[in-house]
Chain A
């Protein structure tokens, strides 16, 4: 069996005149975590629904675990999938345990697993409480427990960290890392995912139904060619340094105190750094490579610019 979990080849989805997705090609391998980024209406949910087999592509080829997910005989595929929809509110009048038991039974999983799952997402103290009394974060954890029923091989999580506090978000990413180590593939879907870089293998950026860029973070950085932001502090005057840097075409911005900031171009960043380190007065230096948020803003902005040009 191949390692490919799902593959999309030039997949399009249209609703009448609306192009929800245009010629998107994407692939995910076993044990990989894919961040699917895009603004509202960019095509994230459509992509998820296609993979889940809820809708069929208008054109192009889509395979999930080597099968057509929307085919009737593929319903067994669904046992391998876990899904957390955006903004799901479960049955308020049921307890967390009852909600999860219902979904577990529908997947043909024993009740014994329910307690374990609830404990795993940190809801062990609230199993008997009505979901109506849960906080937003607790509901999100319950949704996650639901997605984990039956040890799926592919997890599709739509805005999973919305409503989670920083501690819970950390726990969540810890869980993603654990699952990845076990060979589970994950698709994380979001507008922005602060601090997610370390937990994903690849990112795909969608805009207006098109795939704007995809690849590992490093590949995306190379593609974008965004500058490395450097902040530092210098003991004494900044004039000499400023002059030296301006020779290699880098402008220095003076911040308050003795601090400064500069943008080192992607190609010449090592030269700039060497230059900086030669200065004996340098007391502190801090590097800020372009993160996912900046990369996203870059690719999204680029596509919008093209749109207006056309």
Chain B
């Protein structure tokens, strides 16, 4: 019955497809990985133009600063979505890799006068090195116990940072980290930092896009679907899990380096469990298994936290309630859910009008 309805072309289908096309511009595609091959779509041009033009149109320092933070969170969420959204593993220690990247840059630039551009790459390498060390033993775990083990790693990292003041400045942290600079060009205003962060983010998105359509990316999905099945078809499950963990950590390390050189401070309070929870929330609210969703989730949650900070001591309880409500009502991501609902509604309107016509 439904199939018959959709076979014939009706004039009003033009209207629906127009609405869907508009929707598809804004809302991330939840089924990106079902497509055979990724190609640059019109939607990407739309995103790119928005990212480039938005800070020029909305020329406000607070907005720029917020979007800088959102971009850093976006890089973090992008790294975690490879691990959580594609490979189906959970990590509550992502903030530790962010912290490792941050402290690497802080120490290299303030103690050894190494240029921040070199420190940027060194941070990614250091974070992925630690991820390799920690990932080897703990990635055999699953579910809750993997979450707990990564959480434990995050807590150990925090204790080590607090207790070695000669290296990391202890609880006070490290100050006066120089701004990021390439060949004498210093990113010292919020607008320049905005373009720096989002430029890096775009580069990492392109990298991830290519990654997930590669052989390795398909292996991520296979591991997430069934580890036994994946190993039966010849996928090195442990290697894939370790690889994606290291890659997510490298992203986090790069984000940490950018954070240190943009905020010019590194402090153990930032890299606590709360940040890890926040990153996982970004990925969940953005929708598992797509790349744009977590970035949208990062922007959304950064704005939410900034908006809530107006209520001071009430902000944390409200934040907790909002998180729980979002999880209850949008368990597979805000974008995915809205899209499914809207498609359902549009098709429902179509069927309803047709039914009425038949009854008449």
Chains A and B bind each other: no
B residues engaging A (CB < 8 A)?
none
